[in-house]
Amino acid sequence: MAATKLYKKEGDDKAKAIQENIEKQFGFLPEVFQAMGNNGDFLESMMKLSEAAGKNLDKKTKELICVAVSAVTGCGYCLEAHRAMALQAGITEEEITAAVEVAAMMSAFNNFNKALGMNHDIKA
């Protein structure tokens, strides 16, 4: 159960129009977009951000990044959503697992280095 009110095509006109497009795309209206449905400007900006982020990446790469980041940040909602989209994009379970492994490895190294105040001695 969401911890906020969900607006299923009952917010402002802009939000309703965007939600209708999202519903056509997914076949239903995911709760995340219902939670944003009270503010069409915010919903619009989040959709534009989603489209603009990784614009130069192919769909598979972008979805693998979404899965990996969702896994290490602990967002089960995003992880399940992007795992489904990754599979729909033709990504295999093995590739998804590999991406999560790399993200987990980087998260472990990041936390280790932050905790010990490691110096930035490797330059690009």
Which residue out of 6, 32, 65, 78 is catalytically annotated?
78
CA pair distance 109, 94, nearest whole angstrom:
23
66 is catalytic: no
Which residue out of 75, 104, 108, 118 is catalytically annotated?
75
Contacts of 60 (CB under 8 A, 6+ apart): 86, 89, 90, 91
Collapsing DSSP states into helix, strand and coil, what is residue 50?
Answer: helix
Point out the residues that are catalytic.
75, 78
